[in-house]
Every structure is written in structure tokens, then in C-alpha cells.
Amino acid sequence: MKIPVLQLKGILLTSIQAELSDEDALEFQIDVLEKVQNSNAQGVVIDITALDVVDSFMARVINETANSISMLGAHAVLCGMQPSVALTLTEMGRELIGVDSALNLDKGVDKLNDVIKGLELTMDDYQANH
């Protein structure tokens, strides 16, 4: 199963619409990263509204994807996590998800734009002072 990654201005939007097998999850991981590299995007919103189970493997994949996106110089925001998934992950413990997150796609995009704006402002500031 291929998960579409859409570009909207400077950001990428991707929505996981069904339960993923392990192979699908790993394929998604590399797909998103390659898309970030090729698109020059400054950020990625990953929507997981449709996931009703996030086990430790999936949590790790999401975590690694977000961290890798940061390493490429972009920013990731996770959005749409189901309440029962959030509860279960918290109960399982060990901060499985350490990713910036937002309630829904709308807020995810807002958050990402704020982060990108913040980065640009910092950059202007830096250039003004040097």
C-alpha cells in the first residue's frame, strides 16, 4: 500500500488512512524522507486519524521518521491521534511518542507554519546581527 504524500506550498501533507503492515510502515518512512529531500519542503504533517492501534513498533517508526525529518532540516508535526491511542501509549510508558503533535490536520498545519515562520524570523534576526 502506497501512502500519498502531497505538497502544499512549503509543506508536505500525508495521511495514513488504514492500518499499516510493518513493511508498509517502513516503506512509508523512506518515502516521506525522500519526498522531503526532493521537494525542498520545510515541514511535514503526518495525520494518523485512521490508526486505531499504535503499538511500540509503529510508535518507533513514527518517532524515527520525525527525527529523521529534523535531521534533513525540516520539521514534522503529528496530528489526529485517537484519544484511546494516546491513552494506551501513555499507559505503556517510556514516552513512545516524542514528536511535536497537534489535535487535527488544521491545527497541525497551523503549528507547522508557526514553526517555519519562527525559524525564518530567527534567521532574519541572525542575519541582521551578523
d(CA 49, CA 86): 11
Three-state DSSP state, 4: coil
Which range binds other proteins by CB under 8 A, 30-38, 83-91, 108-116, 117-125? Answer: 83-91
d(CA 55, CA 22): 11
Tell whether residue 60 is a contact of other proteins (CB under 8 A): yes
Name which position in 16, 36, 45, 96 contacts other proteins (CB under 8 A): 96
**Nearest CB to other proteins, comparing residues 91 and 126:** 91
Tell whether residue 85 is a contact of other proteins (CB under 8 A): yes
Using CB under 8 A as the binding rule, the residues of this chain from 16 to 45 that contact other proteins are 19, 21-23
Which range binds other proteins by CB under 8 A, 6-14, 33-41, 90-98, 115-123? Answer: 90-98
Residues making up the chain, counted from first to last: 130
Q: Using an 8 Å Cβ cutoff, are 19 and 55 in contact?
A: no
**Nearest CB to other proteins, comparing residues 23 and 127:** 23
Name which position in 92, 103, 121, 123 contacts other proteins (CB under 8 A): 92
Three-state DSSP state, 31: helix
Q: DSSP string covering 56-75, please?
A: HHHHHHHHHHHHHHHHTT-E
Tell whether residue 114 is a contact of other proteins (CB under 8 A): no
Q: Using an 8 Å Cβ cutoff, are 117 and 16 in contact?
A: no
Residues that bind other proteins (CB under 8 A): 19, 21-23, 52-57, 60, 82-85, 87-88, 91-94, 96
